[in-house]
Structure 1
């Protein structure tokens, strides 16, 4: 009897779908140990949509982001005078997100103009970071140690909206806000704002 009920439920929803998206955005990360910095990123998102109804679904996805950030800092050394450096850094963020979707972009046959999503998950983040200089700066601290690479993992959350485009609303534009709290290494706060085209 249970098997019949489960089959009837599964028959009432659409099959699983794989949805891809590409876009761009900006990420900001910083902590008590590092300077806050912004990264311009490119995004590639892939998610599996399941348990679809007429205008809702659940999804599991990986909205991958990678980008660059620039550093242009000047420090004063009493022995050598003003010291400056200009380095390019990088950033990669790889979250695994479980979302509830409603409206545009949620189900294959949904023709709503607007849609929303909210969810949570876990993420890995690696970035070029700049250590904060102590208020009492001593000359024996090496300049090379200020610009380094650090990584962290931690819980993540996102919320955003989708705008259906085209006559049948088969594609959509997604605006996504993202937050992650690193719980290892330099324990940063990480925020992101991205815009993607989902197809």
Structure 2
């Protein structure tokens, strides 16, 4: 894992050294993480997205960036008794889970139109890309049930590495290269929990 981090740092440093321009943005993100045998957990957070263009033309660019997202997620499940309902059943039980996580993949993107560079004057643009990075979480244990219906607990915290993908559109604002970005993202954790992380972000790029 240390070698992967070192490789990512070298690649990012090299792109920075030969970059033609730098942009960055901040925004909000909605994320849903889903692990094997566990309930999905929706979350809300913030994202910071720095990006270096290392190849540019009048209409497109190739960039490398590290969109960093921090979010708070949670889920709750309870047991319902049809005889007495939720409120009156003294044997009702529930399980909750809360997590704070950070997602930071290194992304290589192909950018078109608005937002592809500061000099591009288009009002609409798009981008698509892929990458690899890390996902870290500090969370409570989550409960799941085996085939016999017996409860078991799993620790879902820690650091995991995996591939990522993103795509979206940009809307130009003003005449200085600023734009509003709407992004869909996906991250896959390469661990026993088989994390699937889906994201929707709205970002203002300076």
Q: How far apart, CA to CA, are the structure 1 residues paired with 2:124 and 2:54?
A: 19
Q: Is the 8 A contact 2:51 2:65 kept in 1?
A: yes
How large is the RMSD of aligned CA atoms in angstroms?
2.4
Q: Which has the higher strand share?
A: 1
Q: Give TM-score scaled by structure 2 length.
A: 0.77
Select the residue among 113, 116, 126 that pairs with 1:116: 126
Deviation of 1:89 (Å): 2.0
Q: Give TM-score scaled by structure 1 length.
A: 0.79
Matched residue, 1:186: 193
Q: Is the 8 A contact 1:104 1:164 kept in 2?
A: yes
Q: Is the 8 A contact 2:156 2:193 kept in 1?
A: no
Matched residue, 1:70: 74
- 1:13-69 per-residue CA deviation (whole Å, 9 max, x = no partner) reads xx6111111000111111323221111120011111121111211100001001101
Uncovered stretches (5+) of structure 1, i.e. residues with no partner = 1-14
Give the alignment of 1:94-133 within 5 angstroms: 94-127=104-137, 128=139, 130-133=142-145
Equivalent pairs counted in the alignment come to 178
Select the residue among 140, 165, 168 that pairs with 1:160: 168
Give the alignment of 1:1-199 within 5 angstroms: 16-74=20-78, 81-84=91-94, 86=96, 88-127=98-137, 128=139, 130-138=142-150, 145-146=153-154, 148-166=156-174, 168-199=175-206
Uncovered stretches (5+) of structure 2, i.e. residues with no partner = 1-18, 81-89
Which runs of structure 1 show a deviation greater than 4 angstroms over 4 or more consecutive aligned residues? none
Structure with higher Rg: it is 1
